[in-house]
Amino acid sequence: MRNITSESVIALGANLNLRGDGPKVTLEKALDALKRQGVVIRAVSRFFETPCFPAGAGPDYVNAAALIETEKTPSELLHLLHEVEKEFGRKRIQRWGMRTLDLDLVCFGDGVLPDRTEYERWRTLPQDDQMQRAPDQLILPHPRLQDRAFVLVPMADIAPDWEHPVLGQSVREMLAQLPADEIASVTPL
């Protein structure tokens, strides 16, 4: 029997309209789709507007985060997230490009996957390489979580005390280390 895990977080984002719906509505519908698939949504952050990254790559994003519980393994959950993205028109063509829906598994409790060495390799990958390469396996926690205000600001709404299992810092502490202008660019809708 599997254990239900808590304090797993999914980051949600979108910057393209889909079937007449704006990005915020798409995120709300994606959360409903996850619920229908048995994912328990414990909390959802506020919705935020965030500048597109890299700058000039498209319209601004709507971002949020969800605290979830599931009986799925991390790999099963990632597969489900990809299926929901596909249902909402996501095409994996361009890394860090515009999208109708982006669902990222940010953390799965305090798990480090696949192991600490591989995690560190991806966490310390230079940004130019990050833009070109994607891992062929699930890396948890998300290797750039600590660098992204558009993830940490919403995550602070729902799991401010979650502690990064490698860095040993809470969401609040990681957020406090980011430049003030990056934090200020993530604005509530």
Q: Is the pLDDT of residue 7 over 90?
A: no
Omega before residue 51 within 30° of 0, cis: no
CATH code for the domain in which residue 160 is found: 3.30.70.560
Q: Model pTM?
A: 0.90
85: left (phi over 0), alpha (psi -120 to 50) or beta: alpha
Domains held by the chain: number: 1
Determine the average pLDDT of the residues in 100-119. Answer: 94
Q: Is the pLDDT of residue 1 over 50?
A: no
46-100 pLDDT, tens digit per residue, is 999 999 866 777 899 999 999 999 989 999 999 999 999 999 886 755 545 567 8
150: left (phi over 0), alpha (psi -120 to 50) or beta: alpha
Q: How far apart are CA 127 and CA 144, in angstroms?
A: 10
Asked if residue 158 lies in contact with residue 44, where contact means CB atoms within 8 angstroms, the answer is: yes
- Residue 42's Cα: distance from chain center in Å? 16
* Range in 30-34, 59-63, 136-140, 185-189 the model is least confident about: 136-140
Crossing angle, helix 74-87 and helix 23-36, to 10 degrees?
Answer: 130
Given this model, what pLDDT does residue 95 score?
A: 47
The CA–CA distances, whole Å, from 24 to 83, 156, 158, 185 equal 19, 19, 18, 17
Q: What angle do CA 79, 84, 85 make, to 5 degrees?
A: 95
Determine the average pLDDT of the residues in 103-108. Answer: 96
